[in-house]
């Protein structure tokens, strides 16, 4: 709502202005209470915290009194509200501490909500029906805290690439998502039927009956295949010659953990902690994080879980931490860099993770480490926090493994040095690809250049694996590549011991691993490292999957065949 452009004529009667404001306040309050309940039920109580803060603001006597006073002065409820919000905004902007500064955004948020009620602006969206397709400009992670995702059948975004965080969240929740659909906001009409094919990225608006039937059938086949595979979830991921690969899943919500179990993942190889911060629009407190991590660890115990420290910035901005005006956010104050600048928030998270470490099988992972000095600085903070906990007598596991993500080329190139000072490596191929190929992972215009199977990326993976082997620390891959069928033979061939990706893809990866021979894929990996183009690598991988008989697989053969045909051309 552009408030300056909405007509508002105050009543002659001042009492009416006071009453209208009071009613708007009540309505806003009950709206926020409803949202709080929905989010709490959907994702867990810690995600609802932002709404508690907003409710507190609306119930704050000082805030309400200030507005009533301003109504007496301005004789207009709208002007009064606007004036008070502006004063609060300026006050909060001057606060140095980012945690308190960002509470200003909450005031602004609730203020806008009251204003909309006062002006009688109604949400023009109908309540969402089950099976809705959501069309947005950008698929931002915060959407997942705002929408009833269980009613969403698919998401289409006008902009964005295939590996943005919003897409990853959608994939984890098994919601088909198509991004970079130029013109879709113009073309799609509310209430219009559509088919979204997440596998090919095709959208059919107003499909006819025959097409609808065809897709309904395909969807049914897919569901049957998933059911078959899930029923075999206890089988190990072992190659024909007995080489064992650990298959884990990535998660970021409590709701994802159910999928980890359903699809037979052996643990969580990457727990992304950003969603809590995004839902809060700020750094979450130690208590809120602690509750979440403990529930995650408890749920999975005795299976292992790797919790990653906050990876904010880049495409996961939160307000009021000074990231808004960065020209190159992906190269800016992102991830570990941001946390090292915000020590208080970093320490709160480290304390929460360490405290959860007594409860189960936990590892801690630092994202986007680019140099030894950065690793040492971060580990220095961890040591300080350990001492602090020891002093308070708070229990934690002193042997909690601390590892790093290898997702910047400088880290892969200096992996032998880093390996000596950490307990494990996990290769974040989403970013490693972005930074190696200089291709923004969220930009659809360069999406055709983004390819983790580029020989340059493979060289860096190989260096990392070797460094890990020499230092005797485990090396996993936790980027989306880990669960891409074409990548599996190459990664196994390169000597990766653990693959962690989308939960729903775990059974498919397992079928692939079980059809491979470790020595054969080692030879494939050697050939891939010498390949001149990504296309040559695709061909090597596709040939292997085909000769392993996977195209004849009763459950996954159909669509895998299609995928291989695209990589290789028809037989
Ligand atoms: C990666 O970069 O590969 C990764 C797993 O981290 P994220 O996708 O959260 O940046
Ligand atoms: Mg990353």
Tell me the mean pLDDT in the region 160-164. Answer: 74
Residues within 5 A (CB) of ion ligand 2:
407, 428, 431
19-28, 158-167, 303-312: which has the minimum mean pLDDT?
158-167
| pLDDT digits 0-9 by tens, 437-462 | 999 998 889 999 999 999 999 999 99
* Active-site entry in 165, 263, 454, 553: 165
What's the pLDDT at 43?
65
**With 70 as the cut, is the pLDDT of residue 125 above it?**
no
pLDDT at res. 102:
63
Query: Bigger pLDDT: 100 or 80?
Result: 80
Which one, of 318, 299, 316, 317, lies nearest residue 307 by Cα? 299
pLDDT at 479 over 60: yes
Give whichever of 5-9, 497-501, 554-558 has the largest mean pLDDT: 497-501
CA–centroid distance, 311 to ligand 2, in Å, is: 8
**How far is 275 from 277, CA to CA, in rounded Å?**
5
Q: How far is the CA of 442 from the centre of ligand 1 (A)?
A: 12
Q: Which of 173-177, 432-436, 494-498, 530-534 has the lowest mean pLDDT?
A: 173-177
Q: What is the pLDDT of residues 193-242, one digit of tens each?
A: 999 998 888 999 999 999 999 999 988 988 888 888 888 888 999 999 99
Strand order in the sheet with 152-157: 132-136, 152-157, 177-178
Q: Is 422 a catalytic residue?
A: no
pLDDT tens for 522-568 read: 999 999 999 999 999 999 999 999 999 999 999 999 889 988 888 77
Listed residue (231, 269, 188, 257) closest to 480, CA to CA: 269
Question: Worst-scoring range by mean pLDDT, 93-107, 192-206, 301-315?
Answer: 93-107
pLDDT of residue 571: 47
Per-residue model confidence (pLDDT) at position 98? 63
Decide if 454 is catalytic: no
Helix then strand count (H, E) for the chain reads 25, 13
Query: At 233, is the secondary structure helix, strand, or coil?
Result: coil
Asked if pLDDT for residue 122 goes beyond 60, the answer is no
* CB-ligand 1 contact for 407 (6 Å cutoff): yes
| Nearest-ligand number for the alpha carbon of 164 | 1
Which 3 state secondary structure label does DSSP give 237? Answer: coil
Residue 124, pLDDT > 60, answer no
Q: What is the pLDDT of residue 490?
A: 98
Phi-psi region of 191 (alpha: psi -120 to 50; beta: other; left: phi over 0): left
pLDDT score recorded for residue 137: 86
- 428 alpha carbon – ligand 1 mean position (Å): 5
pTM comes to: 0.81
- DSSP code for 95: -
Atom 1, ligand 1: residue with shortest CA distance? 428
Q: Note the pLDDT of residue 142.
A: 60
Average pLDDT over residues 481-488: 96
d(CA 74, CA 86): 14
């Amino acid at each position: 709502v552009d408030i300056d452009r909405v007509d508002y004529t105050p009543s002659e009667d001042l009492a009416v202005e006071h009453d209208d404001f009071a009613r708007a306040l009540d309505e806003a309050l009950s709206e926020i209470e409803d949202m709080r309940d929905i989010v709490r039920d959907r994702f867990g109580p810690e995600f609802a915290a932002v709404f508690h803060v907003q409710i507190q603001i609306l119930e704050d006597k000082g805030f309400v009194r200030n507005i009533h006073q301003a109504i007496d002065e301005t004789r207009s409820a709208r002007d009064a509200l606007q004036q008070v919000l502006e004063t609060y905004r300026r006050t909060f902007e001057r606060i140095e501490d980012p945690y308190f500064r960002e509470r200003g955004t909450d005031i602004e948020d609730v203020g806008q909500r009251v204003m909309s009620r006062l002006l009688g602006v109604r949400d023009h969206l109908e309540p969402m029906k089950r099976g809705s397709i959501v069309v947005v400009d950008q698929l931002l992670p915060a959407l997942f805290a705002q929408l009833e995702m269980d009613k969403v059948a698919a998401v289409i975004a006008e902009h964005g690439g295939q590996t943005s965080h919003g897409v990853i969240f959608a994939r984890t929740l098994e919601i088909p998502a198509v991004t970079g659909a130029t013109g879709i906001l113009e073309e799609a009409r509310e209430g219009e039927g559509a088919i979204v094919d997440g596998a090919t990225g095709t959208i059919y608006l107003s499909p006819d009956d025959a097409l609808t039937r065809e897709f309904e059938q395909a969807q049914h086949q897919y569901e049957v295949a998933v059911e078959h595979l899930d029923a075999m979830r206890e089988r190990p991921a072992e190659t024909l010659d007995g080489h064992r690969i650990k298959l884990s899943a990535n998660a970021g919500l409590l709701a994802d953990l159910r999928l980890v179990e359903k699809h037979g993942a052996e643990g969580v190889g990457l727990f992304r902690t950003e969603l809590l911060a995004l839902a809060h629009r700020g750094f979450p407190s130690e208590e809120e994080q602690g509750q979440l991590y403990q529930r995650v660890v408890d749920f999975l115990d005795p299976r292992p879980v790797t919790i990653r420290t906050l990876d904010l910035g880049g495409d996961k901005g939160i307000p009021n931490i000074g990231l808004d005006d960065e020209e190159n956010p992906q190269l800016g104050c992102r991830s570990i860099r941001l946390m090292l600048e915000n020590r208080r928030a970093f320490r709160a998270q480290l304390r929460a993770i360490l405290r959860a470490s007594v409860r189960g099988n936990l590892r801690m992972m630092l994202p986007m480490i680019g140099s030894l000095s950065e690793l040492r600085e971060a580990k220095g903070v961890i040591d300080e926090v350990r001492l602090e906990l020891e002093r308070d007598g708070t229990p934690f596991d002193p042997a909690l493994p601390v590892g790093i993500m290898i997702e910047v080329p400088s880290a892969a190139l200096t992996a032998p040095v880093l390996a000596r000072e950490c307990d494990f490596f996990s290769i974040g191929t989403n970013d490693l690809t972005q930074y190696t190929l200089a291709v923004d992972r969220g930009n659809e215009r360069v999406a055709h250049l983004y390819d983790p199977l580029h020989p340059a990326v493979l060289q860096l993976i190989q260096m990392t694996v070797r460094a890990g082997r020499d230092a005797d620390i485990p090396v996993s891959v936790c980027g989306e590549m880990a669960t891409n069928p074409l990548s599996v033979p190459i990664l196994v061939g390169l000597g990766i011991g653990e693959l962690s990706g989308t939960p729903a893809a775990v059974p498919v990866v397992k079928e692939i691993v079980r059809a491979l021979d470790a020595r054969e894929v080692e030879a494939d990996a050697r050939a891939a490292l010498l390949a001149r183009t990504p296309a040559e690598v695709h061909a090597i991988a596709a040939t292997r999957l085909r000769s392993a008989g996977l195209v004849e697989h009763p459950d996954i053969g159909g669509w895998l065949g299609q995928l291989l045909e695209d990589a290789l051309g028809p037989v």
